Structure 1
Amino acid sequence: MHEQTKYLKSCLVIASGNVGKIYEFRRLLADFPLTIHGQPEGLHVEETGNTFLENARLKALAVANATGKCSLADDSGLSVDHLAGAPGVHSARYASTDEGRISRLLREMETCKNRSAHFSSAICIASPNNEILLEVEGRCEGLITNKPRGSKGFGYDPIFEVLDTGLTFAEMGIEKKQLLSHRGRAFALLKPGLTNLLQL
């Protein structure tokens, strides 16, 4: 076992203050013998990366250093073809609330016929000793709807219809969303590496 993985034996800190995201990772990690915590309240990490993976690394390393425990960070976002990939890494900063972000995006897409988009998720696990233990990326293709649909999920979920399903993320049950989502797909790639790290 690698020296750094001893930190994983007790706890994994999710590098996020987003309650919805922490909940999703708690469910995704339910089969692993790990105690899951959210990052300390008031901790803020500047997301200065140009890609989702760069931001995931920044967050995982910063939270691992702050807590002295291994940290898992996810940086994810929505990229819209018509908007040349925007909001992309700025997805969370597109407006100050989920409702504001959705309203702004729908306004900018109002007369657009090409509504293709995709969600990306980069996941990184870092140790408190500045080492990247695992990193993966997942992607989910879809379309931007004309108006919000569904009441589940968070963020852009009500306006992102997953390709070939006819459903937005906000209309899906958690199990289906975990299977199809960018985060679920990234986690499927992460799972074998995490299993190996924990020697399960």
Structure 2
Amino acid sequence: MPTVVVATGNPGKLKEMQAYLQDLDWTLELKPSAIEVEETGQTFLENARLKASQVAIATQQWAIADDSGLAVDALNGEPGLYSARYGKTDRDRIERLLRTLGNHPNRQAQFICAIALAQPDGHIVLETEGICPGTILTSPQGSGGFGYDPIFYVPTLGKTFAEMMPAQKEQISHRGVAFEQIMPQLRSLRLT
């Protein structure tokens, strides 16, 4: 079975990737902690490419990376690339977002997930971007999920991410959409 390095030091992210990629006969492993990749891209896709490419070159193995976040229309795409750093805790991030958005009538937002796969020489062979549109509520609803899930409402389902069962969220989320788009190519790829 081919080994693919997941360009993250987060064991939770590795577990999540394993769930999405379970149909493939890949062995997934975390990137070595000594490898640090500076996310200098201007988009989620640029950051995913950077992480996959640099980790592939450093390990001389196939590498897969993702980059994701929340973009709010009325805030010109904020928090965007800084979604994870918009506050110290999930609660801080939610409170800051709700405070910044205030009573703005446009509550449209989208979660975005970019995925890139690099071969051992760093060349990106596959990439995609998944988007889940929604709106930002004025106060949190639901107790599941993490991050912005309690305020991200999906009108087509009438629920926030935090109110969904994990399987339902996995299917319709930005990450679920991105993996659904890229899986046919991943299945036909021969890793050597």
> TM-score if structure 1 supplies the norm length?
0.87
SS of alignment partner, residue 135 of structure 1: strand
Contact 2:4 2:61 in 1 (8 A): yes
2:50 corresponding residue in structure 1? 58
1:189 corresponding residue in structure 2? 181
SS of alignment partner, residue 112 of structure 1: coil
5 Å-filtered alignment, 1:96-135, equals 96-135=88-127
Q: Please give the alpha-carbon distance, in whole angstroms, between the structure 1 residues aligned to 2:90 and 2:29.
A: 23
How far off its partner does 1:169 sit? 1.4
How far off its partner does 1:141 sit? 0.4
CA deviation profile, 1:24-75 (whole Å, cap 9, x unmatched): 2111111111112222235431111111111100011122223222111111
Contact 2:52 2:122 in 1 (8 A): no
Structure 1 unaligned spans of 5+: 1-8
How far off its partner does 1:186 sit? 0.7
Q: Label 1:134 to 1:69 Cα distance change in 2 as closer, same or farther (>3 A).
A: same
Of 38-47 and 60-69, more deviation after overlay is shown by 38-47
Q: Label 1:184 to 1:143 Cα distance change in 2 as closer, same or farther (>3 A).
A: same
2:137 corresponding residue in structure 1? 145
How far off its partner does 1:174 sit? 2.0
2:161 corresponding residue in structure 1? 169
CA deviation profile, 1:83-113 (whole Å, cap 9, x unmatched): 0111112212222332222221111122222
Of 164-173 and 122-131, more deviation after overlay is shown by 164-173
Q: Please give the alpha-carbon distance, in whole angstroms, between the structure 2 residues aligned to 1:96 and 1:68.
A: 34
SS of alignment partner, residue 141 of structure 1: strand
Amino acid at match of 1:51: T
- Percent identity between matched residues is 51
2:149 corresponding residue in structure 1? 157
1:26 corresponding residue in structure 2? 18
CA deviation profile, 1:130-185 (whole Å, cap 9, x unmatched): 21121011111001122222333222222211231121112222211121011111
Contact 2:130 2:178 in 1 (8 A): yes
Amino acid at match of 1:53: L
Q: Please give the alpha-carbon distance, in whole angstroms, between the structure 1 residues aligned to 2:53 and 2:184.
A: 21
2:39 corresponding residue in structure 1? 47
Contact 2:6 2:29 in 1 (8 A): yes
Contact 1:52 1:75 in 2 (8 A): yes
1:5 corresponding residue in structure 2? none
SS of alignment partner, residue 159 of structure 2: coil
Contact 1:20 1:154 in 2 (8 A): no
Q: Please give the alpha-carbon distance, in whole angstroms, between the structure 2 residues aligned to 1:113 and 1:20.
A: 36
Give the aligned length: 191
1:75 corresponding residue in structure 2? 67
Name the Cα RMSD after superposition. Answer: 1.8
